[in-house]
Structure 1
Amino acid sequence: MYKLNYGQKNLINFNDSNEVVEAIGYLANQRRGLTITAESYENKWGTELRLNFNNIDGMPSALRQAISAGNNSCIARLNNNEFVRTLITEFGFDSGSVQNAHQIRSNIPINYLDDFDRGYGLT
């Protein structure tokens, strides 16, 4: 049901839709210290959409394999325009550091809610 592979450079590969939704639940939890940013730089092709993390404990492996080192404002980040755009447009994530987990969860089909809840609770 869900797309399983995202991006060209920082490829995110999920095995199945259950893993996708588990990752969505993980990202929806405020304990991650997740901030979604859009950055534009001169001499670049366009805007870079990023997930910045202050906590990666329990991170699902598909996400963990795609993260890179953070900078002075985060411990890790994920640069993948396609995936971040999907989080915003299909699941209801917002740019910035505040996510409405209830709203995001309402965008998940009922048969995947257990996967979302499992991801939300990962520590």
Structure 2
Amino acid sequence: MMHISIGDNSRNRKFLQRLQRDKLYSVEFMVEGLPYLFQFKIWNTQSKQMFIMVKESSDILSRIKEGESFNMKYYSSVLEYPIELKTKIDYLTKEKSGRFKNHYLVGLKILSNQR
């Protein structure tokens, strides 16, 4: 597992921003109280940055809240090993129509003060 110390180093922050935008394809994490690991595809659109799609009926929705932070393991198309980064749940938005009806968009924000 690769750990990145971001701190105030602008070079590391730029690397992470580029990685987020173009190269991260999935994320996995555990939620307290649930006995299994959750793995999701990472989505990026022009209107929303880095989010995952969660079915309305998923057990995880009752266990996560906006502003809560988790250690998440990210998989990338350019790194040999996954990287673990502290990540905040930025928003939870229910899709009421369209392709992802009855799913929640869960925004992910990688925290800059990694240690």
**TM-score (norm: length of structure 1):** 0.31
Q: Which has the higher helix share?
A: 1
**TM-score (norm: length of structure 2):** 0.33
Question: Higher relative contact order at CA 8 Å, sep ≥6: structure 1 or structure 2?
Answer: 1
User: Rg: which structure is higher?
Assistant: 2
Q: Which has the higher strand share?
A: 2
